[in-house]
Structure 1
């Protein structure tokens, strides 16, 4: 098999459980209660899954002025992968208990290392448990390995990159809720609004009424309409801190639109410099 590279269905993964070349990563996390995901993991998780904490493992929160969830250092992240038993040859599956955004952050981290065999569990924990599929509460220590790799930083943008690319006519898609984009009901960041020139597409728009990703054809039609003739390579995505925007990168790749870039600092990074302009409204 060539491997799963965007999504995997719960029924398919259930058949493959126990395969030695598969690693499962639990990415459950709540911004309101950062310890809740790990606590839930200890109560029950997919068999043999390891736990990845958004703040501790998938970000470098020690960096200042570049948003709430700065992109991690490659050496630190690849060391963690090795501790989890993940090598460049491993088929990796990530899941969470929301709409898939935290799992998508892990997916894009792996993709930026050049790791193709990584996918998100479509429907996540909710669908897995709704189907009555196996759950385990034991925490097994994986056999450690080495993961040598560096990030492809050409798809990672800072605020200056975003401004230059917007001026050149590229598209910037904001994955936050429409109310936060308009500058209403901002409960997370100290300043409300959006980057001037950005367009709004809340990331749950990528899902159907059952909480699973829309078909590749549906997603392609919707993103092409939003891009207005621009290519994926002329597209940037952002959100509040560079996490939920990865949901768009996953959805676009599912739609055959590969190559969009991530503004890693996103809104929380943008507002760290008071000289940057802010827009409100639709």
Structure 2
């Protein structure tokens, strides 16, 4: 059995949004020159998308020796995922509007924690190009989810393995 592709096409997401159990959609906009994606989110986002702050929810503020975006504490990450409205068994679709950095990080962290996560192929630009509806304004706050995250689903490569 092969693992599902990490990408989801715009047309497939549009169809899934009409289903009895639509995916949780996360907007993970982040750029080095504009780390706060909330103003861009307010200008336009997928309907019912939940805004995720890469700096505050997909990373923690650590010692400079730990790098720019050290991973958050597992408990804090689970609390964020629940705040985003994710329940056990949900499919999650992540997107951004710049080179996929934010959405890739969210996909990797969620997939490693056992969540069925996908990245919107082409991001916000592809959704917009397809002429699909967009929303504006502040993020809505979904009902809290009950997801339990179990990190360790993806293979990890240690420093000695990378050196070899």
TM-score normalised according to structure 2 size: 0.87
Query: Would the aligned equivalents of 1:4 and 1:91 in 2 still touch at CA under 8 Å?
Result: no
Alignment of 1:30-109 (within 5 A): 30-35=31-36, 37-109=37-109
Query: Would the aligned equivalents of 2:26 and 2:92 in 1 still touch at CA under 8 Å?
Result: yes
Task: Output the CA distance in 2 between the equivalents of 1:154 and 1:16.
Answer: 26
Task: Output the CA distance in 1 between the equivalents of 2:18 and 2:48.
Answer: 8
- Structure 1 consecutive aligned stretches of length 4 or more whose deviation exceeds 3 Å: 18-21, 153-157
Aligned-partner SS, 2:109: helix
Match of 2:130 in 1: 131
Count of paired positions: 160
Q: CA RMSD, aligned part only?
A: 2.1
Match of 1:225 in 2: none
Query: Would the aligned equivalents of 2:8 and 2:120 in 1 still touch at CA under 8 Å?
Result: yes
Relative to structure 1, is the Cα distance of residues 106 and 166 closer, same or farther in structure 2, using a 3 angstrom cutoff?
A: closer
Task: Output the CA distance in 2 between the equivalents of 1:21 and 1:128.
Answer: 17
Structure 2 unmatched runs, 5+: none
Aligned-partner SS, 1:56: helix
Task: Output the CA distance in 2 between the equivalents of 1:64 and 1:98.
Answer: 25
Rg: which structure is higher? 1
The one of the two structures with greater contact order (alpha-carbon pairs below 8 A, sep at least 6) is 2
